Amino acid sequence: MPDMTDHPNQLLINGEFRDAAAGATFTAQDPARGAELATVARAGTEDVDAAVAAAREALTGAWAKTAPAKRSRMLNRLAQLIDERTDEIAELESRNVGKAKWQCAAEVKVAVSTLELFAGTAQHLYGRSHVVNPSVVTYTLREPVGVVGAIIPWNYPFMMAAWKVAPALAAGNTLVLKPASATPMSALLLGQLALEAGIPAGVLNVVPGPGGEVGEAIATHPGVDKVAFTGETGTGRRIAEAAASTLKRVSLELGGKSPNIVFGDADIEAAVLGSLWAIYYAAGQSCEARSRILVEDDAYDDFASAFAERAKGLSVGDPLAAETKVGSLISRAHADKVRGFIDIGLEDGGELLAGGREVDGLGDGLDPDAFVPPTVIGGVANDARICQEEVFGPVVTLTRFGDEAEAVKLANDVRYGLAATVWTGDGSRGHRLAQRIHAGAVGINTPFIAFPGVPFGGLKESGYGREQALESLDLYTETKAVLQNTSPKPINPLGV
């Protein structure tokens, strides 16, 4: 097993890797093996103060003096460095998250594309001009919001960091980035690569540490202008409340309970294959997981048996093995929570069609308590707890519907609104439903809804703000109006 100690494991503040002011550390785990991965510096509020001070200094100093074209070159350089080290980053991520390495590699490539996308926008942050009346001309400037506190989750650590860092830097902001405590490693490596790419000291600071202390300190800090958060809905609500004390800008990418609607006129084989990806990718620990499959009555039996058979055939095991489709969950504790939801689903009248609490035939050296097999629970009513709460694991429910109107009603009958997929052979129906489903993104005959350039974000309790697209720049810029008097005469509105 490669040694991970070569990777940065200290706080990154003002261009230097350093120990926490209080000297505290914590352990990052390799959950699939139930082993320790690395000892990492654990930031406290004093370190957040130092990181914010460095980011403020860089905001009006080195970074403000860096022309947009140069910012663009640096972001492209960062993308290139990441691209060259894809395998190494994917391995680090896979070992820290427990996710299949090939999936981590795909996410590293998304991070590369995201940086390239926003590198291209740095030189196109145009304002508007307008002649208000013959003696007033106005134009607008798009200025950086300031210091961005980026707080990210453990399920896609590297990619989520890139989703925030790329648009924030393109628009001229500086950052204090807090990775999830479970997954600090790849964010620190991103910080190191940013320095290698020539991004000045203090522009990107990385402070791993507990959410209740470091995250709260960022959300309430008077020196932070905006919080960009991805995580659970409850945490997002708490952050929005904390940020309100200083009226910070906030964008929130939160949880989901997304529907996957299969009509009887769909290509059932295509629907089965796509739906497997939509729930079991990342072992279901995905905000956009389509965790509720709604199937039209006349197709239900065929779909349920084909889907359950395929789910049973997915290879569960060592995240580093090329054939693995489903790795471990992020921790034993999280796996226990997911197993608890399986029990709840069965108590609520669901029928176990595949999977369950135990994984058979795991390889040597893996921790069976950290794995949950791809699980299918059929015949569950949409108001059951398992259909309403985010499980965040490889567990999907199957629910019947009678007609299109009922499908829409069930799809929308949750507090979330992040993603949806509609499987149908009727093109008009696909577009009709796309307008009626409450979600930030709707796929028609495709499980894929997240691409660089396509707005990603939620409605309802899935949050607000759009990442990954031109709209994201609105989250990281303020519009300033400049007005010019063009009249040769003095302005004398009081008529004196």
Q: Pick left, alpha or beta for residue 269 (phi over 0 → left; psi -120 to 50 → alpha; otherwise beta).
A: alpha
Residue 335 binds ligand NDP (CB under 6 A): no
Active-site residue among 93, 107, 287, 288?
Answer: 287
Backbone angles phi, psi at 182, to 5 degrees: -70, -25
- The reply on whether position 215 binds ligand NDP by CB under 6 A is yes
Q: Pick out residues in 97-116 that bind ligand NDP (CB under 6 A).
A: none
Entry field: residues in the chain: 496
Question: Please, which residue, 367 or 390, has the CB nearer to ligand NDP?
Answer: 390
Query: Who contacts 30 (Cβ-Cβ below 8 Å, separation ≥6)?
Result: 36, 37, 95, 96, 98
Q: Which residue has the tokens 């100093």?
A: 61
Q: Which is nearer to ligand NDP, 195 or 254 (CB)?
A: 254
The helix or strand, by DSSP H or E, that contains position 261, with its residue range, turns out to be: strand 259-262
Alpha-carbon span 370 to 386, nearest angstrom? 20
| Residue 156 burial class via C-beta count within 10 angstroms: exposed 0-12, middle 13-18, buried 19 and up | buried
Tell me the number of residues near ligand NDP by CB under 6 A.
33
Beta carbons within 8 Å of 23's beta carbon, 6+ residues apart: none
Are 149 and 176 within 8 A, CB to CB? Answer: yes
Cα separation, 136 vs 144, in Å, equals: 26
- Identify the CA nearest to 395 among candidates 283, 274, 262: 283
Stretch touching ligand NDP by CB under 6 A, among 24-32, 42-50, 226-234, 407-415: 226-234
The verdict on 329 binding ligand NDP (CB under 6 A) reads: no
Residue 7 vs 164, nearer CB to ligand NDP: 164
Query: Which residue is it, tokens 């079991």?
Result: 280
Of 266 and 293, the one with the shorter C-beta distance to ligand NDP is: 293
**C-beta closer to ligand NDP: residue 156 or 341:** 156
> For ligand NDP, which is the closer residue by CB, 52 or 239?
239
- For residue 234, the minimal CB distance to ligand NDP (Å) is 7
Stretch that binds ligand NDP, among 194-202, 362-370, 379-387, 455-463 (CB under 6 A): 455-463
Does position 151 bind ligand NDP by CB under 6 A?
Answer: yes
Residue with tokens 């929308």: 412
Interface mask toward ligand NDP for 154-193; x: CB under 6 A: xxx---------------------x-xxx-----------
211 binds ligand NDP (CB under 6 A): yes
Q: Decide: is 307 part of the binding site for ligand NDP (CB under 6 A).
A: no
Task: Figure out which of the listed residues 253, 296, 367, 461 binds ligand NDP, where binding follows CB under 6 A.
Answer: 253
Instruction: State which residue, 66 or 235, has the beta carbon closest to ligand NDP.
Output: 235
Q: Does 392 bind ligand NDP (CB under 6 A)?
A: yes
Q: Are 224 and 147 in contact (CB under 8 A)?
A: yes
Whether 253 is catalytic: yes
Contact code string over 38-57 relative to ligand NDP, x by CB under 6 A: --------------------
d(CA 403, CA 298): 10
CA distances, 431 to each of 272, 304, 409, 437 (Å): 21, 25, 16, 10
Nearest-approach distance from CB 16 to ligand NDP, in angstroms = 22
Of 91, 107, 116, 253, the catalytic one is 253
Residue 150 per-residue DSSP state: E
CB of 279 to ligand NDP, least distance (A): 13
Among 72, 173, 174, 235, binds ligand NDP (CB under 6 A): 235
Largest CA distance in the chain: 91
Taking the chain, what is the end-to-end CA distance rounded to the nearest angstrom?
84
Give yes or no: 104 in active site: no
Q: Are 398 and 377 in contact (CB under 8 A)?
A: yes
Cβ proximity to ligand NDP: between 255 and 317 the closer is: 255
Cβ of residue 297: shortest distance to ligand NDP, in angstroms?
30
Contact positions vs ligand NDP (CB under 6 A):
151-156, 178, 180-182, 210-212, 215-216, 219, 230-232, 235, 238-239, 253-256, 287, 390, 392, 418, 458, 462-463
Annotated catalytic residues are: 253, 287
